[in-house]
Amino acid sequence: MEKHEITCIGCPVGCALTAEVDGENVEISGNICKIGVDYGVNECLNPRRMVTASVRVSMDDGSIKMLSLKTVPEIPKNRIFDCLNEIKKVKVKQGIKIGDVIIKNILGLGSDIVATRNII
């Protein structure tokens, strides 16, 4: 049985969780609310993260702005750098609105890369 110490980020309290993992069975202690149990189990069995990044935007006047992006939903933690390498290949032009999908189903992970600001 493996033992992990985790700080829960599910709510502002930030409980110090202890996770005891035995294969697919995870026992969580130290949580104040149910969010801590869900967070601890997911963190042990399938850790996922939202990735944020920026890409350059070529403007019609020749200037360059930056467009912020994020993954929706989160991706597996072990694929973060693969995702960032794909995002680095992207070139976009103005005319983008918040929520526009910039990369659909990145790396076949079921997550889209979406714009988090307008570049009009």
Confidence at residue 54, expressed as pLDDT on a 0 to 100 scale: 96
CATH of domain 52-115: 3.10.530.10
Place of tokens 């709510």: 11
Nearest to 50 by CA among 22, 79, 19: 79
Percentage, residues of the chain above pLDDT 70: 100
Q: Which residues partner with 115 through β-bridges?
A: 69
Cis omega (within 30 of 0) on the bond before 73?
Answer: yes
Q: Which residues partner with 1 through β-bridges?
A: none
CA-CA distance, 7 to 28, in Å (whole number)? 12
Could you read off the pLDDT of 61-73 as tens digits, one per residue?
Answer: 878 889 999 999 9
pLDDT exceeds 90 at position 6: yes
Q: Which residues partner with 119 through β-bridges?
A: 96
**So where are the chain's domains?**
2-46, 52-115
Could you read off the pLDDT of 35-86 as tens digits, one per residue?
Answer: 999 999 999 999 999 999 999 998 888 788 899 999 999 999 999 999 999 9
